[in-house]
Structure 1
Amino acid sequence: MRDFHKPGRSQVIAASGMCATSHPLAAQTAVGILQAGGNAMDAAISAAILLGIAEPQMTGIGGDCFVLFKPAGTEEVRALNGSGRAPAGARAGALREKGLTTVPTEGAIPVTIPTAMDAFCRLSNDWGKLGIDRLLAPTIHYAEEGIPIAPRVGFDLAKDAWRLSDSGRRHFLIDGQPPAVGQMFRAPGQAEVLRRVAKEGRDGFYKGEVAEDMVATLKAAGGWHTLDDFAEAASNYTDPISSTYKGAELLEHPPNGHGATAMLMLNILNHFDLAGMDPWGADRAHIEAEAAKLAYDTRNRVIADPDHCTRLEHMLSPETAAQLATLIKMDSALPMPAPSAEAVHKDTIYITVVDKDRMAVSLIYSIFHGFGSGLASDKFGILLQNRGAGFSLQEGHVNEMAPGKRPLHTIIPGMLRENGRVTMPFGVMGGAYQPNGHARLVTNLRDYGLNVQEALDAPRAFNDGTTMQVERGYSDAVRADLAARGHNVSIPEKPIGGGQAIILREDGLLEGGSDPRKDGCALGY
């Protein structure tokens, strides 16, 4: 039990349904959908789309999503890949000829076809109860009437606004400045887009005037995109991948997401006695950082579009983890791995919902960098993602940019299953940190016995490929110890990531937590 004399937050306990996400109005919207007769899928979709207005630099309808979900009445978990493909005209060779060694992060070139809207419409049709028109109504309301900027959102807007193009500045700034905390942000153009989707379904986004607006904006910025690319955008169902850690089965979305990286990290960590280490001491932070270096280096050579990813079984084999674990030394840090093609970012939203019938949804939704590519469609103000920056330009690389190909994605929803029963949908935001965040959350729960809120509150450290970022929740003595072992230690300007989780308890109750690094909450009824 936490010390109630000190600042903090208790886990939320409820009986009927629950949502945990990064903005309170989205959590309230999800619970409202549940109370109106919707199920967890309805609630997750409705609140996720609202987060594109509540946290416009983080996500939006010009982005992608991945979803894990457990239907009511079963413990089987399904997956949906809502990530977009490179346009048919994409050419890595053309970029190499210009002297580029990595895909740009701004402008039209890194824009893959946004596929979240197709995913939301498909999931609503296949698994929802209320219909997409009902699910879009809250966002249409807030996009027209406005939503007040929350404190963490305001902090991020000020940091990321420089990335906006002229059309982006027109649609997302107020009098030329980032919206400040407490100011009302409106997106009437997006409200009109959602009205069309409510009436026409996914064709209201991928065909007609809305698609023409996105394509014209991209072409004017030098993009390869066509109306056919948008018309052909499609999400697809797939199966989760899984591994075990100390009695818990971790389920992750398969490639092109990099959930396998979290699995490899945990497989490596299984060779060390974490439970015998101080949870906030230097030994645990060191071991975790070394495991991350090894797992991420493997990821960079393996994870790609699922049609091109051929070495996943090797990455997840116990033998691979055992061999990598022998490389870790307690008194010294391994060299940094080779740089990844993936551009570093920390901008994503996550939402999890469980309903009265115990359908459970784990959904992550992003435009990649803060404000994505910086491009907003001229008429409707749809902010376009820059997921193509996750491609490699190395000729012959498994993740090389190519027409119709999906890039390596950093966003990963997660679930735990124990003794055949799904026990926790969860996610940890933070760009490249996410697999590390999944591993840390699982070890906080399994090795240290923390409750779900404590596990999210706990301090974090992350080796980002350049420095070992160590949050202020760690002591200076720990930072000095890590530096003495050879880590290039720094205190990050922003806290590391965010996260939410809901535990389905054996007694039938729900127990939720939401990261204090964001503005959100867990809310149940």
Structure 2
Amino acid sequence: MRDFHLPGRSPVLATEGMCATSHPLAAQAALDILKRGGNAMDAAIAGAVLLGICEPQMTGIGGDCFVLYKPAGSDTIHALNGSGRAPAAASAAALRDAGHDVVPLHSAHAVTVPGAMDAFCHLSETVGKLGLDSVLAPAIHYAESGVPVAARVALDWAGDSSCLQGRARDLFLLNGVAPTQGQMFAAPQQAEVLRRVARDGRDAFYAGEIAEDMVATLNAAGGVHTLDDFANTRCTETTPVNSSYKGATLYEHAPNGQGATACLLLNILSHFDLAAMDPWGAARAHIEAEATKLAYDARDRFLADPDHTTRLAPMLAPETAAQLAALIDPKRVMPAAAPLTEAIHKDTVYITVVDRDRMAVSLIYSIFHGFGSGIASDKFGILFQNRGAGFTLAPNHPNTLAGNKRPMHTIIPAMLKTDTALMPFGVMGGAYQPTGHARFASNVLDFGLDPQSANDAPRCFAVDGVLKMERGYSDTVRQDLRDLGHDVVIPDTPIGGAQSIALRDDGILEGASDPRKDGCALGY
């Protein structure tokens, strides 16, 4: 039990249904759907689409999603890949010939076809109960009437809005500047898009006037997108990957997401007695940082569109983890891996919902960088992701940009199965997500923390040659890590943001929401 003398959050307990996500309006919308007879998938889609209005710097209908879900009455975990592909005419060689070493972040070349809307329509039809008109109604309402900008959203909006260009500046700035906390933001053009999808289904988005608006805008910005690229977009059902740790099983989405990285990282950490260490001490932080470097180096070499990589099995193999663990010196820092050529960033939303029949949904949804590409379609104001910046331009790499190919993705939903609960969870934070997943699992399994305490706990992350450490660590621990050779920095903003629900074997739902975001867990 937490110390009630100190600031913090208690776990949210309920029995009938629950949602945990990063904005209260989205959590409430999801709960309303459950109370109206919708299932967890209906509620997750409703909340996720609304998050694109509440947190437009993080996500929107111009982005991608990945989903894990457990149907009611079943223990089988399903996966759906809702990530879009590069246009058929995309070419790494053409960008190299134009003088580029990387895909330009805020250009039409970085825009892959949005995949989330196709996935939402597919899941609504095949798994949901209420239908798109009911599921999209909350987002349509708030897009039309507006939402007051929340505190963390305002902070991120101000920091990310410099990339907005052309029509996007008119739509996502108020009198040329980022809105502040409490100011109203509305997106009536997106409300019209959602109304048409609610009435006519996915083809309203991927064909006709809306698709024509998107293609024309991207072509005017130098993109090679076609109407066929949009019409041919389809989500893909797949099988999760998993790893075992301390008697529990971590389920992750398969590539092109980076979930296998979390599995490899946990497999490496299993070779160390983390439970005997101070959870917020230097020894654990050092081992985690070194394991992160190794797991991410493997990710950068091998993960890509599943049609273009053959290295997934070796990455998940126990012997791979054992060999990598043997490289870690508990008393010394190893050199960082070479920096990535593909872009990695942090802007994502996550939502998890469980209903009274115990369907569980773990859904993550993103436009990649803050405000994505910074490009919005002229008529309907659809802000495009820049997921294409996740490709490399290096030839002969499994993740090289090519037509009809999916880039390596940072966003990953997860589920953790212990001997007493199933926990759908996610940790927003771009490249941090595999480390965040491994740390959440370790916090629960090694140190016995409840999910809310596991979310609240301080975080660190070895990336780009530095060890980022939140202010929750002591100065003594930071100095101990410097003495081991780490270049320790305190980041300007906190690391990631987590949400989770535990379906406990005693029938109780236990929700947790990260105080690093504006959201909450709500149940009934």
TM-score, L = length of structure 1: 0.99
Question: For the residues of structure 2 that align with 1:276 and 1:51, how far apart are their CA atoms?
Answer: 40
- Name the CA shift for 1:173/1:64 in 2 (closer, same or farther; >3 Å): same
Gaps in structure 1 of 5+ consecutive residues:
none
Question: For the residues of structure 2 that align with 1:119 and 1:20, how far apart are their CA atoms?
Answer: 21
Question: For the residues of structure 2 that align with 1:515 and 1:333, how far apart are their CA atoms?
Answer: 30
Paired position in structure 2 for 1:479: 478
Deviation for aligned residue 1:417: 2.0
Q: In the alignment, residue 32 of structure 2 is paired with which amino acid?
A: G
Paired position in structure 2 for 1:438: 437
- Give 3-state SS (helix, strand or coil) of 1:192's partner: helix
Q: Deviations over 1:453-490 (max 9, x none)?
A: 00000000001123110000001111111111111110
Deviation for aligned residue 1:422: 6.3
Paired position in structure 2 for 1:468: 467
- Give 3-state SS (helix, strand or coil) of 1:351's partner: strand
Paired position in structure 2 for 1:459: 458
Q: Deviations over 1:271-326 (max 9, x none)?
A: 00000000000000000000000000001111000101201111111111001111
Paired position in structure 2 for 1:229: 229
Equivalent residues of 1:105, 1:386 under 8 A apart: yes
Equivalent residues of 2:421, 2:504 under 8 A apart: no
Q: In the alignment, residue 314 of structure 1 is paired with which amino acid?
A: P
Paired position in structure 2 for 1:314: 314
- Give 3-state SS (helix, strand or coil) of 2:468's partner: strand
Deviation for aligned residue 1:236: 1.0
Deviation for aligned residue 1:102: 1.1
Question: For the residues of structure 2 that align with 1:363 and 1:301, how far apart are their CA atoms?
Answer: 26
Paired position in structure 2 for 1:2: 2
Equivalences for residues 484-495 of structure 1 within 5 A: 484-495=483-494
Equivalent residues of 2:344, 2:410 under 8 A apart: no
Paired position in structure 2 for 1:285: 285
Question: For the residues of structure 2 that align with 1:210 and 1:178, how far apart are their CA atoms?
Answer: 27
Equivalent residues of 1:57, 1:160 under 8 A apart: yes
Paired position in structure 2 for 1:57: 57
Paired position in structure 2 for 1:324: 324
- Give 3-state SS (helix, strand or coil) of 2:368's partner: coil
Paired position in structure 1 for 2:497: 498
Equivalent residues of 2:481, 2:488 under 8 A apart: yes
Deviation for aligned residue 1:506: 1.1
Equivalent residues of 1:132, 1:201 under 8 A apart: yes
Equivalent residues of 2:67, 2:361 under 8 A apart: yes
Question: For the residues of structure 2 that align with 1:338 and 1:225, how far apart are their CA atoms?
Answer: 32
Question: For the residues of structure 1 that align with 2:416 and 2:346, how far apart are their CA atoms?
Answer: 24
Question: For the residues of structure 2 that align with 1:260 and 1:422, how far apart are their CA atoms?
Answer: 22
Question: For the residues of structure 2 that align with 1:101 and 1:428, how far apart are their CA atoms?
Answer: 30
- Give 3-state SS (helix, strand or coil) of 2:53's partner: helix
Of 250-259 and 421-430, deviating more is 421-430
TM-score, L = length of structure 2: 0.99
- The size of the alignment, in residue pairs, is 524
Question: For the residues of structure 2 that align with 1:452 and 1:152, how far apart are their CA atoms?
Answer: 22
Equivalent residues of 2:18, 2:511 under 8 A apart: yes
Paired position in structure 2 for 1:399: 399
Paired position in structure 2 for 1:24: 24
Q: In the alignment, residue 200 of structure 2 is paired with which amino acid?
A: E
Paired position in structure 2 for 1:428: 427
Gaps in structure 2 of 5+ consecutive residues:
none
Of 98-107 and 446-455, deviating more is 98-107
- Give 3-state SS (helix, strand or coil) of 1:367's partner: strand
Aligned-pair Cα RMSD in Å? 0.8
Over 6 Å off, 4+ runs: none
Question: For the residues of structure 2 that align with 1:373 and 1:466, how far apart are their CA atoms?
Answer: 26
- Give 3-state SS (helix, strand or coil) of 2:110's partner: coil
Q: Deviations over 1:398-436 (max 9, x none)?
A: 1000000000000000001235x8611000000000000
Equivalent residues of 2:294, 2:324 under 8 A apart: yes
Paired position in structure 1 for 2:294: 294
Question: For the residues of structure 2 that align with 1:185 and 1:403, how far apart are their CA atoms?
Answer: 36
Question: For the residues of structure 2 that align with 1:6 and 1:467, how far apart are their CA atoms?
Answer: 31
- Give 3-state SS (helix, strand or coil) of 2:306's partner: coil
Paired position in structure 1 for 2:523: 524
Equivalent residues of 2:252, 2:413 under 8 A apart: yes
Q: In the alignment, residue 499 of structure 1 is paired with which amino acid?
A: A
Q: Percent identity?
A: 67
Paired position in structure 2 for 1:132: 132
Paired position in structure 2 for 1:208: 208
Equivalent residues of 1:255, 1:309 under 8 A apart: no
Equivalent residues of 1:75, 1:422 under 8 A apart: no
